[in-house]
A and B are shown apart, each in its own frame.
Chain A
């Protein structure tokens, strides 16, 4: 029983920890599938987290906070688009720039507006997304096995968690079952063909980046308005990069992305849980090893030892019309 409870608890925190990764990963999926590399996921999440918490605490509304987070995050995505689509700048350089601007401006403005060392005020109950208790939780709780799974794992998360997981089939549907999705994938593989068909490559890529901005905004809002109840400086702490790793690990596919994010979230949950406790057989595992594992796994995957990750073919290349 003890082991079972522990497992349920670890899985529960796995879900909580993988939600921001999942949202950011799906965000990256849209832009990378459209042929725009985006290492600015981290920065967009950060501005989303800051804008969400700041707006929620000022306007006293979680929904307005979420809206602001999405708005600001989309604005940053459009800067990335302006540089890398309109002006054909280097996409990686532009992403790096966005991460820097996000890191600096969130602290500066946070300090200026709230005077709490770069934090936003702690969010009151109405200003953050509360956990939703599913019907019948109390009735089922006593039932062995199913009870804890239903009451701990499935019920009791905030709305954003369910949205994140619903985004997986939705993204799959958009990318593989709609005209927009077909064109989006085509523009990432062979923009010249899309251009020949009379569809604007730039506008299509901009739309993909807007999708990215929306999702990173939600991811940021989750961090500051669900997980933490307020913005703390540098609170993304590399999650944007882990999401990027997960995206590669998932070979740019939505369902795989969910499993990759759950895996990385699980590793994170496990490393928190196992701090200092020795494992059977292996002995004591250093926390740092667990923390580095997602990155190591991604490198091994990239090296082609676990299948082959083939990125969208036109990724990273600005599109120039035929001369």
Chain B
């Protein structure tokens, strides 16, 4: 056990191990399906068909994926800086406040392509603000970011309830939600893109915020691997001591990384509010911030991986809805279990199979895992 987690070839590290972990998570989920007396293989077929079988399914899958790309990127940016931002849920929720105010103010005056940028700024600003306080407390006063961001999730929930039953809802209405946004704050649908490929779509909420999510994924890649700031963040994430020695300001880097993370989490609120429901309602985030953790872990903190993982989870959400419809014994809560299992196996237990795979590689090709170098013969 002298070198517990030695190097594997990159394709095994970024491809094989996540796939194995995912596979195990699904096998365990299969047992749960078996436990409620259904056939797991049939369930898997229904799930995949429901997600990708028809145009409408694909559009829904991508719609769900949009939100998860944002929340996954949010977790990843913080994680590259060695910070665990578990507060995406709250940052996204509070961003709804910014979106609500902007949309209610401008939806009758401006066209959507002017409201949208304003709403992006408002949501990012609110999310960043909500991450700023925990970041400041971590950097300056040494309080643990995980705990403070959890606390801020609950505080955000209270603030939003206060706002939604208070000044955001129309005076005459009882429901704790804003009035329906007018055309000026409704994002155009993207369904025609899928229809170009010949599929038919009845009504699906896939909208332009999907494109924004892809742009953000590219920008995050640029930030982390192609800018000085990203380099500093990764340095701090690997070794705060080394970063300090290199003259990187600890306070600045923690606060900047968390604010970017919070801004990304904030932007995830655009998709369900302006893109789908056309209002800001109670609890509209509904756990997407936490899904981001699973997505980021699954995607190995790389934007490409995150987009793929987000689509996978989008598939689970859409296919899961179909599954609940086809198999009454399986409710949508099955998705929550699968999420948990993915987080467990791809996150907490990510090293479980590594020693075996390593041994396998070592027996096939010792060079690949650097055995020779350790023995002092090579390099």
* Interface positions of A (Cβ within 8 A of B): 37, 39, 79, 82-84, 87-94, 96-105, 107-109, 111-112, 118, 238, 241, 244-245, 248, 286, 288-289, 291-292, 295-296, 298-299, 302-304, 309, 311, 320-321, 323
Contact = CB atoms under 8 A, between A and B. Distances in A.
Given A100-B290, A321-B1, A89 B337 contact: no
Interface of B: 1-4, 32, 35-37, 84, 86, 133, 137, 141-144, 146-148, 150-152, 154-155, 158-159, 161-162, 290, 293, 297, 329-331, 333-341, 343-344, 347-352
Given A109-B35, A288-B158, A83 B344 contact: yes
Contact of B340 (A88, A104, A112, A238): A104
Chain A at the B interface: mostly helix, strand, loop or mixed? helix
Contacts of A97: 340-341, 343-344, 347-348
Nearest to A241: B150
Contact of B158 (A102, A104, A289): A289
Contact of A311 (B3, B144, B152, B334): B144
Given A100-B337, A107-B331, A288-B162, A87 B154 contact: no
Contacts of B143: 299, 302-304, 309
A100 B339 contact: yes
Contact of A108 (B142, B290, B333): B333
A83 B348 contact: yes
A87 B148 contact: no
Given A111-B331, A292-B154, 19 more contacts: A79-B344, A89-B347, A90-B84, A96-B290, A96-B293, A101-B336, A101-B341, A103-B333, A104-B340, A108-B331, A118-B331, A244-B147, A288-B162, A292-B158, A298-B147, A303-B137, A303-B141, A311-B144, A323-B1
A104 B1 contact: no
Contacts of A92: 84, 86, 146
Nearest to B4: A320
A304 B142 CA distance: 9
A300 B143 CA distance: 10
B283 to A, nearest CB: 12
B349 A87 contact: yes
A234 to B, nearest CB: 10
Nearest to B343: A97
A122 B44 CA distance: 35
A147 to B, nearest CB: 38
